[in-house]
Structure 1
Amino acid sequence: MLLSVLESGRLHGYAVIEELRRRSGDAINLPTGTIYPAMHRLEAAGLIGSEWERANGRKRRNYFLTAAGRRALADKREDWQRVSSVISVVLGAGTAPGAGAEA
């Protein structure tokens, strides 16, 4: 989810939290103590980068998606599609991926 929020451009940490909250209709409201360690792990893995900037006299760190992060996001989206399709089938809301009419 963090990678997808950064897909549209650079954001500082609090803006990432707010965008997750907005996109989820307030269902996802993660504390800063959860987001920042995750952002640091993503940065250490090379999936996001960061730069410091000054805004209103204060320094803040802006995060952005790297090329590796874009590839990882595409892979995660494919994984999620497969998983959610299987879950839908198990719950009775769809057809198994690759299942033909004889299934």
Structure 2
Amino acid sequence: MTAPEGPAPWPAQWLRGVLDLAVLAVVARGETYGYRIGADLAALGLGVVKGGTLYPLLGRLEDAGDVTSTWREGDAGPGRKWYSITPAGRARLSGEGAQWRTFAHLTSDLVGEVTPTGGTR
């Protein structure tokens, strides 16, 4: 299943509910930087996450001890802040990820019960 095309394919409240975990999941794949995280989220179907949302979120994750960052000079351009997940971040991703999957299944089942005529299946 793929997301609809465009900058905001999902209602904002859905994305707000899962964005921390989605960012942790992307960082858990390997050390990366902010622009790449945003590009990966878009490529995965979550839509465009603007820098004004992404970078403060990364700061909060760092403050919470879920990610660490290091500054590196760029080879042919400006330097970048690279992010890595911490053991605490992996534990959060595992625990909250399991909770999210349960919540998503429950709501999917509930919404799936409603028919177009307003009754239930």
SS in 1 for 2:70: strand
Aligned residue identity for 2:61: L
1:60 deviates by: 0.9
Give 5+ residue unaligned stretches, structure 1. 94-103
Find runs of 4+ consecutive structure 1 residues off by over 4 angstroms. Answer: none
Kindly report which structure 2 residues correspond to 1:18-97, keeping only aligned pairs within 5 A, or say none: 18-24=39-45, 27-57=46-76, 58-92=78-112
1:69 deviates by: 0.3
- In the alignment, the residues of structure 1 paired with residue 43 and residue 109 of structure 2 have an alpha-carbon distance, to the nearest angstrom, of 29
1:54 deviates by: 1.4
Aligned residue identity for 2:72: E
Give the structure with the larger strand fraction: 1
Taking structure 2 as the reference length, the TM-score comes to 0.70
Equivalent residue number for residue 7 of structure 2: none
- In the alignment, the residues of structure 1 paired with residue 93 and residue 42 of structure 2 have an alpha-carbon distance, to the nearest angstrom, of 19
- In the alignment, the residues of structure 2 paired with residue 12 and residue 81 of structure 1 have an alpha-carbon distance, to the nearest angstrom, of 26
Count of matched residue positions in the alignment of Structure 1 and Structure 2: 91
Aligned residue identity for 2:31: R
Q: Which string of whole-angstrom CA distances, capped at 9 and with x for unpartnered residues, describes residues 49-81 of structure 1?
A: 000111225211001100000000001211111
Identity of aligned residues (%): 30
Give 5+ residue unaligned stretches, structure 2. 1-21, 114-121
1:36 deviates by: 0.3
Root mean square deviation, CA, Å: 1.3
